[in-house]
Amino acid sequence: MLVRSWNLFHGNTLPPRRRAYLREMVELVTADRPDVVCLQEVPAWALTRVGAWADMHVVPALARHASLGPLPIPAELGRALTAPHHGVIRSAFAGQGNAVLVARERRVVAHAELPLPAPEPRVAQRVDLDGLVVVNVHFSNPPRGDNELAAVLEWVGDAGPLVIAGDFNTTPRLDGFTGTLPGIDQVLVRGADANARVWPTEERELGELVLSDHAPVEAEF
């Protein structure tokens, strides 16, 4: 089983430029047909499209609606307002969420969401597959993120085998989980021994561009 995670940075490069490369990122991170990919910082308009780009099942979770100031707007309008310069505007209008991509040959048995109270709305996703529970997270910075992690652990209880993947905004130390990596992006596994790695920079290059300000991370078990 290969589970991967990537914070897409709204499709931006490092450093951000005028254009975004969201579809290229999704196609890159799914090119070798992983079993599951957890994505964070996906613009609201793209949440239902990433599955088609990857040719995988998609379970989307909206954390923040597209908006113009306090007013909600259609996701496509948020996209249009961002288009003049993705690197400057980023998620100001487009909103964002998480998405879990699942290989076509695997069956999604159930899924659920847990809203995480934060100054910037966030959401955790639970996707139940045959024989595996996957949780996709994007936590706030500590100490608030520590409370969000505790809420997620209580939410999933003793479910297992269990994967918690995503952007932790800290390096977590969790008893009973394998696969902890240096850095804030993790694919943590409970109930199996995991071999985890961070993609080196050259694996997320597109020509002279470096995609996202995060590297994909993965665990095989």
Residue 84: pLDDT over 80 = yes
- pLDDT of res. 186: 97
User: Which CATH number does the domain housing residue 189 bear?
Assistant: 3.60.10.10
pLDDT above 70: percentage of residues in the chain: 100
The total number of structural domains in the chain stands at: 1
Three-state DSSP string of the chain: CEEEEEECHHHCECCCCCCCCHHHHHHHHCCCCCCEEEEEEECHHHCCCHHHHHCCEEEEEEEECCEECCEECCHHHHHHHHCCCHHHHCCCCCCEEEEEEECCCCCEEEEEEEEECCCCCEEEEEEEECCEEEEEEECCCCCHHHHHHHHHHHHHCCCCCEEEEEECCCCCCCCCCECCCCCCEEEEEECCCCEEEECCHHHHEECCEEECCCCCEEEEC
pLDDT digits (tens, 9 = 90+) for 106-142: 999 999 999 997 678 899 999 999 999 999 999 999 9
Confidence bin at 90 (pLDDT 50/70/90): confident
pLDDT band at 35 (very low <50, low <70, confident <90, very high): very high
Q: Answer for the pair 4, 29: CB distance below 8 angstroms, yes or no.
A: yes
The mean predicted confidence, pLDDT, of the chain is 94
Token readout for 82 is 């961002």
Q: Which residue has the higher pLDDT, 36 or 92?
A: 36
The CA-based angle 210-32-205, given to 5 degrees, is 10
> Is the Cβ–Cβ distance between 5 and 216 less than 8 Å?
yes
Q: Which of 41-45, 80-84, 217-221 has the lowest mean pLDDT?
A: 80-84
> Has residue 211 got a pLDDT over 90?
yes
The domain in which residue 80 lies consists of: 2-220
**Cα–Cα distance for residue pair 90/128, rounded to 1 Å:** 31
